[in-house]
């Protein structure tokens, strides 16, 4: 196994950072999506938000099924995308085969974008379960590869 570095000289790292930034960008955008729907449906969770944005019209401190769905989708990203970027960094550092590594990053990225569309669109199961499972297995595969070359 060669010494792989976390620099642009390493083509696997150069590819990884693109996919990692893409899924992190998608995760961050969920916050904006939540805000838009909170304003559109006038359901706020903080009193100061309801006061400021409500004005004279009826604004309530409450939940809305669709806003809660976006929140769950966002939390699912935190649970899967953040470990992907962390495990991906460690995986790049152990010097995996370029082809197999890029396959991991591509499959994860596609599965997470599909997961979001399926979740927000409430597509019947097992669509979401499959999208989740594919991304999950990529994470497990990277974790096992890393554990196998590490010294405890």
Answer whether 24's CB lies under 8 Å from 81's CB.
yes
Q: Which of 18, 36, 40, 60 binds its own copies (CB under 8 A)?
A: 18
- Verify binding: residue 51, its own copies, rule CB under 8 A: yes
46 binds its own copies (CB under 8 A): yes
Interacting residue with its own copies among 55, 58, 97, 152 (CB under 8 A): 152
CB of 84 to its own copies, least distance (A): 9
| CA 136 to chain CA centroid, nearest Å | 11
- Pick the closer one to its own copies by CB: 86 or 134: 86
Binding of its own copies at residue 57 (CB under 8 A)? no
Is 70 a binder of its own copies (CB under 8 A)? Answer: no
Considering only 38, 67, 74, 114, the residue that binds its own copies (CB under 8 A) is: 74
Write out the two tokens for 4.
């792989």
| Member of 36, 40, 52, 98 binding its own copies (CB under 8 A) | 52
Minimum gap (Å) between residue 86 Cβ and its own copies: 5
d(C-alpha 119, C-alpha 57), whole Å: 31
Phi, psi of 134 (to 5 degrees): -65, -50
Q: In sequence order, what DSSP letters do the residues of 32-77 get, joined into one string?
A: HHHHHHHHHHTEESSHHHHHHHHTTS--EE---HHHHHHHHHHHHH
């Amino acid at each position: 196994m060669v010494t792989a570095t976390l620099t642009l000289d390493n083509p696997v790292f150069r590819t990884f950072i693109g996919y990692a930034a893409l899924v992190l960008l998608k995760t961050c955008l969920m916050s904006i999506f939540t805000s838009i729907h909170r304003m559109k449906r006038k359901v706020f969770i903080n009193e100061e938000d309801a006061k400021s944005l409500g004005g004279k019209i009826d604004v309530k401190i409450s939940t809305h099924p669709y806003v809660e769905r976006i929140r769950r989708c966002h939390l699912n990203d935190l649970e899967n995308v953040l470990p992907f970027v962390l495990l991906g960094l460690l995986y790049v550092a152990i010097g995996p085969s370029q082809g197999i590594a890029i396959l991991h990053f591509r499959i994860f990225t596609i599965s997470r974008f599909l997961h979001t569309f399926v979740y927000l669109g409430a597509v019947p199961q097992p669509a979401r379960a499959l999208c989740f499972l594919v991304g999950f297995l990529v994470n497990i595969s990277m974790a096992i590869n890393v554990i196998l070359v590490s010294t405890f």
